[in-house]
Structure 1
């Protein structure tokens, strides 16, 4: 660990941040005590940090192998979660590279990180010293720690591994490592609030059906890409489950609803009017298609088309608002540039570009979709 921090080695790493890593791996390391694999690992780490957690682009920071980098939360989603959690004693039972722990624990005085990978934990402990952050670092399996622990915490956080022994992705709670259904009672015995980060692909209704202790669900998207589902558990009797849909770095407002509201909501339908509304992906993941229509007074184009319309522009909509007009296929001019959207339509964007000879991009939109009367095309005004 110390040798990779040698000034000459660090200068070499910084000089090769844009180098082809495959070519670099074929070269002999210019440093006898540091392998080229170790050098490339640090270069990859800096590249990932630049887009996911730039706060680690600081002299003296060490990076783990790529899998640990890929599994880490981004700085943006970790910061979002940190604004929710407050207290004195915080524990992360699956700390990994420690990005979530670093942000989530910033308003806590007593911080504990549990990690079963000893080498990874050494890197995290070293980095936290560089960043002047204090914590207890415990190299233990989560299950062993829970069996021995006598402490109580204000917040327990964990991000279960979502791959099985064959490295295939898994999503059900009982297939995760650790098995959430097996340890939930133990978790709730050491804290009144348990926070669990889950895959963005997990089904919301399934979660509610198997975990009656859920009182809050956050669907977190970053630039319209759903990154994680965060659930909050408590032993206290909560009559409602509050759900929050957020789309970070979009400028769009968050949308909050009570789980179950969708069942009683009803959509009205109409042909496209002046304004078209496309919900962001956190809303679509929540499956609240009728609730959005009812809450904002919008009309839906079709039961299976999650696009909405109104004659007057409404504000605070969690998604894109476009001023558009209906056209026929003759109104699509070849070689023009559009952002092409296809929803509930047989042609995919690539097929549409090929069929009509269109270029992708620019500021104008072209939507291929369906209303209750059939297939339609909408074009930016």
Structure 2
């Protein structure tokens, strides 16, 4: 089937306008009789997003969907990470969307099925997969209808539920997602050895464990310390223990693996600042394992509500920043000095601190405004 948007002259026009103002472009008349300016702008937006999120799609013949589908797609970084965990013979993505996750997650499977209720979006995915040389079975159907009629079993089912309600407001509880995970979890586990669900980074882990059955693993995935996804794994072959993985992609930090619930029995010791200061990455903060970190790395906390740690001797492989620091008096801070300013359990926010002390932001040095058990302190990198 011929696709007008892929005509060479149209693609040349799109490439020539990749950096154009899209609002202005929409006001212009399309230079092509069979392609609207809205379609052109859609492809420009698609290429702009692909440059950052999935550059493997920046090749001749690829068609991009409307912006919402692009925004809801995983980046290739998180998808590649998940693909290394999964393998088997039969893989199905019940909420295919633009198919980025499915493209990567299905790498280690022989038979691939994509289910998507939006017919136009599914046509785009099917076209792109042909361009990429990847085979799959494409099913245009609502997830619930597919489950009612399905008689197959799978090695892995993957879902990325829609996280907006009918009014396009963001929702987080599993019963508010589309599909409602709580209603279908038993059905999913009856037809697959493993069910993998991508969820919002804002989801509460305690809530997750309380409402989902047969959880075997939870992954908290960040990219450059920005938490992007919480991924939960369900399996019928469940030992009753849940392994949690904290992963900070595009960093030099090692993954941290722990058993869910171990934080409850962990304890922290406390100390005034010693030579080295440790700030956990955001996957650790999301996991809430503040005492476990203290025990695991033999570090002391500054304060019960300050998630900053210290030691006299440097600890390697800490999942976060390690900085050699000393306690300073506010009077020692010179105006117009340049610092990365961190405020933890302290009355003033970084912007307020910059104004108060007349500081510039950035550079290689750090100032931490925080509290120990003895009170407010300022730490300066050595």
Into which bin does the TM-score normalised by the smaller protein fall?
over 0.9
Q: Identify the residue that residue 215 of structure 2 maps to in structure 1.
A: 214
Q: Identify the residue that residue 366 of structure 1 maps to in structure 2.
A: 367
Higher mean C-alpha displacement, 228-237 vs 84-93: 228-237
Q: Identify the residue that residue 8 of structure 2 maps to in structure 1.
A: 7
Q: Identify the residue that residue 132 of structure 2 maps to in structure 1.
A: 131
The superposition leaves residues 316-338 of structure 1 with CA deviations (integer Å, 9 ceiling, x where unpaired) of 11001001111011121111111
Q: Identify the residue that residue 155 of structure 2 maps to in structure 1.
A: 154
How far, CA to CA, are the matches of 1:237 and 1:27 in structure 2?
Answer: 59
How far, CA to CA, are the matches of 1:69 and 1:331 in structure 2?
Answer: 49
DSSP 3-state at the match of 2:286: helix
TM-score (norm 2): 0.99
Tell me if the contact between 2:219 and 2:230 (Cα under 8 Å) persists in the aligned partners.
yes
Q: Identify the residue that residue 95 of structure 1 maps to in structure 2.
A: 96
Tell me if the contact between 2:215 and 2:238 (Cα under 8 Å) persists in the aligned partners.
no
DSSP 3-state at the match of 1:193: strand
Deviation (angstroms), 1:237: 3.5
Q: Identify the residue that residue 307 of structure 1 maps to in structure 2.
A: 308
Where do residues 1-381 of structure 1 align in structure 2 (5 Å cutoff)? 2-381=3-382
How far, CA to CA, are the matches of 2:354 and 2:172 in structure 1?
Answer: 35
How far, CA to CA, are the matches of 2:343 and 2:238 in structure 1?
Answer: 44
Tell me if the contact between 2:214 and 2:240 (Cα under 8 Å) persists in the aligned partners.
no
| Aligned-pair Cα RMSD in Å | 0.8
Tell me if the contact between 2:162 and 2:179 (Cα under 8 Å) persists in the aligned partners.
yes
Number of residue-to-residue matches in the alignment: 381
Deviation (angstroms), 1:235: 1.9
How far, CA to CA, are the matches of 1:180 and 1:218 in structure 2?
Answer: 18
List structure 1 runs of 4+ shifted beyond 4 angstroms: none
TM-score (norm 1): 0.99
How far, CA to CA, are the matches of 2:269 and 2:213 in structure 1?
Answer: 33
Gaps of 5+ in 1: none
The superposition leaves residues 18-58 of structure 1 with CA deviations (integer Å, 9 ceiling, x where unpaired) of 11111111111111211111111100000100111111111
Deviation (angstroms), 1:239: 2.3
DSSP 3-state at the match of 2:154: coil
How far, CA to CA, are the matches of 2:309 and 2:381 in structure 1?
Answer: 15
How far, CA to CA, are the matches of 2:181 and 2:220 in structure 1?
Answer: 19
The superposition leaves residues 259-294 of structure 1 with CA deviations (integer Å, 9 ceiling, x where unpaired) of 010000000000111100000000000000000001
Deviation (angstroms), 1:86: 0.5
Gaps of 5+ in 2: none
